[in-house]
Amino acid sequence: MSDLGHVLVLAGGLSYEREVSLSSGRRVADALASLGVEVELVDIDAQLLPRLLQDPPSAAFLAVHGIEGEDGALRDALDLSGVPYVGATGSAARLAFDKPVAKAIVGRAGLHTPASVALQHAAFRDLGGPALLERVVERLGLPLVVKPARGGSALGVTVVRTAAELPQAMVGCYSYDSVALLERYVSGVELAVSVVDDGSGPIALPAVEIDAVSGTFDYAARYTAGMTEYHVPARLTAEQSAAAGDAAVLAHRVLGLRDLSRTDLIVTADGTIEYLETNVAPGMTTTSLLPLAASAAGLDLGTLCRDLLQHAAVRGLSLPGAPV
């Protein structure tokens, strides 16, 4: 048996990504159990905090995707409960989860990111949506990517190739979030670069190249076996691979993240690395990208998760009120 003690894997919730989260949670829990870790998978609900206070775990692994797992609230609740956990703090998670904010931060740090405009639903309605969209097309050109400012799994994301497609794309986007990010479409090699840090500093795992059969890495392409081909490591030059890894580590650092993250990038035809977004609760399903990268690096998923939990548990000993 592991000497880590009793740990929890938190998953589920009521976000649009509930089923993906449960799948991630089951995989992490099974991987930990195979190493002898005393682990319990918990579907988060209103009884979570009383449960944590009654039987505090050594640490928790967050496999909650979407707003419930990535807007910082759950992380703040764990801090209030004195439960150490794997992943970003609540304040850092909020920065990364808000795509326009994250783009601004990494842009100031020197990373390239596609030009974009963020439109809040109320402003879009009150200031005249059609006129705003005309200005957006004039400024950014076509095609565009319309995506919720906060969200994951490509839910509510549309690639818009003509101005006539924009209004419907906005309707779809606003059904997932009150802020829409309209971003200049950038073509090239699509990458996901995972970053892990067991306490010795963040390192980039091998980049995963994403080649969706449909041409769009949407929800179905992400979670349906056979709809996307992955190349690990990505088919890049050594210089491009190093640059992609450096970009992901830089994003991880400037966003103030810890333990693990996944950054999505595009390598354009001229070799430019374009930053898209950073995920603080990467998927752990059989088709998810961090586990693919870990495997390519020779890392066992269960061992990686166990080591991150151990690191979180040790970090928790320094928290106010921690047992001596």
Catalytic residue (one of 12, 17, 183, 288): 17
Catalytic residue (one of 18, 27, 184, 262): 262
Torsion, Cα of 157, 162, 164, 166 (10° steps): 30
134 belongs to the catalytic site: no
Beta-strand pair 189-196/260-267: antiparallel
- What's the CA gap between 322 and 316, in Å, rounded? 7
Would you list the DSSP string of 3-28?
Answer: SS-EEEEEE--SSTTHHHHHHHHHHH
At 164, which amino acid appears? A
Catalytic residue (one of 24, 153, 241, 288): 153
Distance from the Cα of residue 194 to its chain's centroid: 10
283 belongs to the catalytic site: yes
CA of 260: how far to CAs of 10, 169, 181, 226, 264, in Å? 16, 32, 25, 27, 14
153 belongs to the catalytic site: yes
First to last CA, the chain: 24
Catalytic residue (one of 68, 70, 218, 264): 264
Catalytic residue (one of 13, 283, 302, 316): 283
Of residues 196, 207, 221, the one with CA closest to residue 296: 207
277 belongs to the catalytic site: yes
Place of tokens 């802020």: 179
Residue 51 is encoded by which pair of tokens?
Answer: 């449960």
Q: Are residues 251 and 111 in contact, defined by beta-carbon separation less than 8 angstroms?
A: yes
Catalytic residue (one of 279, 302, 307, 316): 279
Catalytic residue (one of 69, 277, 306, 307): 277
223 belongs to the catalytic site: yes
279 belongs to the catalytic site: yes
Angle between helices 129-140 and 166-174 (to 10 degrees): 110
Beta-strand pair 59-62/6-11: parallel
Q: Which residues are catalytic?
A: 17, 153, 223, 262, 264, 277, 279, 283
